[in-house]
Chain A
């Protein structure tokens, strides 16, 4: 008991991103309510929950990618190392340099493999050896051996799984501290999926990772912490609002969760 309390406190102190009473709106529609969550450093945190409960919405508000949606509004506080990400003087471009994103569908640029990986470094004004950075990033993404002889070819010439690893290499090369992944394996075959999961384990040495996944096994395989989200109907128009049900060690969530709805979800009884 004592022990676990100390662990929790330690976790808290080590958290990189904290969400405090976060409500998210699209126009007048409230998509997510009252989320309180601490993302621990150098750990993999998984977001699970049924479709439409706001996982992507929350993930995207962590690096202010929701700014692109004009109707988006956020209430509450999201902090990064204690700094309010939504304060007036915060430059979203700087935020995204530190908090990178890998998307659901592989989305390489219509550029060469090399230029894809070098892109983030180039826009960030990277001063070091670009060739070296490209190589290390591709190695980290477990793609180097497959592409080292064709760095000059288009990113589209790769298979879907390779493209996704290219996108991971591209994110890694921008040297962020946090990597957000929104269902990065949902468009991939099982072998590519395993490769990316292995890769995440290696990446967490250097990065904090937040992953949204639909795949429960994937969460148990890769995540240290798991947050379970659900959605409930509000009002009579059938609108659903997402909320955080439970956030704990992955083991706990999957073996002995506090909430009945978590238990139902992880045992596959709904969603």
Chain B
């Protein structure tokens, strides 16, 4: 009796799962580990291959790559300052437009201003924005937006031409229309993420604020948006990454000029667009220089991501 009791306990302690199941469990662990590692490996291999390809250019230009504003395949003279400027400024323009628009839309869609059914339709439409191919955005930019920004840009230049950013007459394509198209392309990201973080706030917060005699707007601006700010910032940073890396729409609208000009009305170029434009016909050192530029773009996005992480953590620490 006692003995059988003991053996029973033993069995419990040893576990009664079949060896097959155990092996399967172990195997699953290795499998997922494999997946996780392979993602890291892919990333590293991309970086390494680009770095290796870029090596001749790195050796040749070193840091002067970042100060030279010429990109001249004829004289084999390459520098990225102009395209870095184009990348950053066109992304900033898109953020300046998309943040208020996106957060505003997110607030509207998370409040009960309109009946639930209509809201669902609007949310769906916003998601559709993300489904439009970027080449279509590019076409729209060329045929619809550029004529408008040319008129607007002429006015800006005539009235505020003393301001460096508006110091040239618009040439049609340029950073301004590119930034506007990018802003529309990143809107869905900002709206979706901001709306999610607003909707996931505890309803207690809203009640507490209204219960203290705050209006709806005071509640939104003083309590809800600050409480959701880390999520909103996360969305904005994701959107910034997208804007910096966008290739097709940018190429079609920005003018592909590798000359450095401060004015946002002038044609310019972004890193992604430069690479897409020239890679097919590049040879020799030019290929290597394009690789180097790609490395710079990777670095730029990495910096943005680290910065985003840092800002989000700072904000979180302040509110939690």
Contacts and interface: CB of A to CB of B under 8 A. Distances in A.
A124 B213 contact: yes
Interface residues of B, number: 22
A137 to B, nearest CB: 12
A103 B210 contact: no
A96 B319 CA distance: 26
B213 A110 contact: no
A111 B112 CA distance: 25
Interface stretch (A25-33, A166-174, A189-197): A166-174
A80 to B, nearest CB: 14
Contacts of B265: none
A254 interface: no
A103 B319 contact: no
A270 interface: no
Contacts of B226: 110-111
B213 A154 contact: no
Interface stretch (A13-21, A45-53, A62-70, A261-269): A62-70
Contact of A119 (B202, B212, B319): B212
Contact of A70 (B112, B212, B227): B112
Interface residues of A, number: 30
Given A70-B112, A103-B204, A154-B318, A109 B211 contact: no
Contact of A107 (B205, B214, B215, B320): B205
Interface of B: 112, 202, 204-215, 218, 222-223, 226-227, 318-320
27 contacts: A63-B211, A65-B210, A94-B213, A97-B213, A98-B213, A103-B211, A107-B202, A107-B205, A107-B207, A108-B208, A109-B205, A109-B208, A109-B227, A110-B226, A110-B227, A110-B319, A110-B320, A111-B226, A111-B319, A119-B222, A120-B213, A120-B214, A123-B212, A123-B213, A123-B214, A123-B215, A123-B218
Listed from nearest, the 9 A-B pairs whose CB atoms lie closest are A97-B213, A107-B204, A101-B211, A110-B319, A120-B212, A123-B214, A96-B213, A110-B227, A107-B208
Interface of A: 63, 65, 68, 70, 93-94, 96-98, 100-101, 103, 105, 107-111, 119-120, 122-124, 154, 156, 167, 170-171, 174, 176
